[in-house]
Structure 1
Amino acid sequence: MIDPNTLSLPDNAPLFTRLRVALQCLQVLKQDPGNPICGPLLNTCLDLNVYESLAQQLQRSEEGRRLLSERPSLQGKALDLTALERLPEGSLGHEFARYFRDNKISPFETTFEIKNHIDFIGKRYRETHDLLHVLTGYATDVVGEMELQAYVLGNLGIHTAKLILLFGTFGQIKERQPGVGLSEYMRRLRAAYLRGRASSQFLGFWFEHHWETPVATLSARLCAPAERMN
């Protein structure tokens, strides 16, 4: 068994090195899917170029530069879910806290060392996953998770999302999730992808400054309208 604490990605790592480390991360994640080191490290290996591009985009605005400089955290230890749940019903903070309670899960935590902008963006991307469920309305079941991955692919071009969608679609074909046929499944993924492309780029948004803002207001600001389901 590979010790995840021994894995790291050198600065300016070539493609071969990134693929080698990615394969090592996959070996760990196969046995420990929630590993807090190998999850972010795998994302960085596969999406280094995407993260570099996103960092350059953030550098073009004052808000983005401040985000990269201050590196705020949405990890569990930085969140007071009890206080957030006391905020008005419908507010981002209240609905975010209720999301964790209703799904019986805890906020993301990682011990992955943040050494540069690329590491921060990888961590920020993972931290915003649960917030995106709240804002987009995509469920946390298998199909909802795939819809969110398609949305992220359209919005950010994340390669990891492509990989998840590929394996998720194979699983859908093999296992046939009840209630959703393959054609409906593919239609929903396409709709989510196009919605992500039409939406504002979310990664540079200061969610921490909007806990009291209604989810409906933020969703209208950041997300294109969802396709109406017949």
Structure 2
Amino acid sequence: MASADMSPEAEIPQSNWYQPRLAMKAMAKLMEDPEDTAQVFRIIRAMSGPSRQKSFKRFIKSPVGRRVMATRQELATVLNDRDALRAMPDGSLGRAYLEFVERENLSADGLKQANVEGGRWTLTKDQELYSNRTRDMHDLWHVTTGYGRDGLGELSLLAFSFAQLGNIGIAMIIYFGTRGGVRESGDKRLWKAVWEGFRNGRRATWWAGEDWEGLLHAPLEDVRKQLGVVRPDTYRKVFADHLAAAQAQAPAQAA
């Protein structure tokens, strides 16, 4: 059973059991402060059940998984080398990723810090390497899918991730986040956009096992075709409508 101490030093034992009390406690904090990313990791860990071990076993049987386990290469090390990313061709995934993180003032280390604040799991070195890798893919997935970092974009990407990884904790965040968004905006199309994200995740290849280091050098549009990306038209429409409404309200409020 996991400790109730959720300080950065707390360790959460590897377990196939779901821990809904811990998840709901973290969910309440996340609803109070949607920017508290540490709570996201706590929810995901508490409700992983057997999904994490299942995806880990699948990964280590893949060609990329065997290479990563042999070389011990951390994806974050590659993503943090901004000089190397800047030297990649125009239109490549690597350049698009660099533009994204610089525009949004992000880094792979930011996800790492939120992960640490969310508490540590007791993992083997191989499991930790895989866990870190899936964590550090998040912003690459933003760029590749076309989902932004707005609230609906994050929820839609989480739906994509749930389809890929099957973690019940991700589904919980999607449900409570979308329900809150619909209540606030009155726009039920948010559910449709999130469902689109889930469908697109089911249609794509299995991204946890893809060679992201190699894909960084390839043209972004070629990467999208190779990985089975479907354009998120519903998300784009809803996001554009909400943006237009917000811009229309701004002059009125200023007056």
| Pairs aligned (count) | 222
- Unpaired runs of 5+ residues, structure 1, are none
Q: Take 1:209 and 1:14, find their aligned partners in 2: how far apart are those partners?
A: 33
Higher alpha-carbon deviation: 2-11 or 90-99: 2-11
**One of 3, 7, 11 as aligned partner of 2:10:** 7
Give SS of 1:9's match.
strand
1:175 corresponds in structure 2 to 184
Structure 2 gaps of 5+ residues are 238-255
Alignment CA distance shift 1:20-1:123 (3 Å) = farther
- Shift of residue 128, structure 1, vs aligned partner: 0.7
After superposition, residues 40-119 of structure 1 pair within 5 angstroms as 40=41, 42-75=43-76, 79-107=80-108, 108-110=111-113, 111=116, 115-116=123-124, 117-119=126-128
Indicate the larger mover: 103-112 or 217-226.
103-112
Q: CA RMSD in A?
A: 3.1
The 1:223–1:77 alpha-carbon spacing in structure 2 relative to 1, beyond 3 Å, is closer
Question: Which of 104, 117, 122 pairs up with 2:131?
Answer: 122
Query: For residues 184-203 of structure 1, what are the structure 2 equivalents within 5 Å?
Result: 184-203=189-208
Show CA shifts across 1:102-160 (max 9, x none). Answer: 11223232455784243333322221110001100111111111111111112221222
Q: Is the 8 A contact 1:7 1:21 kept in 2?
A: no
Structure holding more helix per residue: 2
Tell me the distance in 2 between the aligned counterparts of 1:28 and 1:228: 32
In structure 2, how many angstroms separate the alpha carbons of the residues matched to 1:84 and 1:151? Answer: 25
Partner AA of 2:112 in structure 1:
E
**Dislocated runs of 4+, deviation >4 Å:** 18-32, 38-42, 111-114, 227-230
Alpha-carbon deviation of 1:28?
A: 8.0
Paired-residue identity, %: 22
Q: TM-score, normalised by structure 2?
A: 0.73
User: 1:190-209, CA deviations, whole angstroms, 9 ceiling, x for partnerless residues?
Assistant: 22111110110000112112
Paired residue for 1:151, among 146, 160, 172?
160
Opposite residue 7 of structure 2, the aligned amino acid is P
Structure 1 counterpart of 2:143? 134
TM-score normalised to the size of structure 1?
Answer: 0.80
**Is the CA contact (8 Å cut-off) linking 2:76 and 2:133 kept in structure 1?**
no
Say whether 1:214 aligns with 2:219.
yes
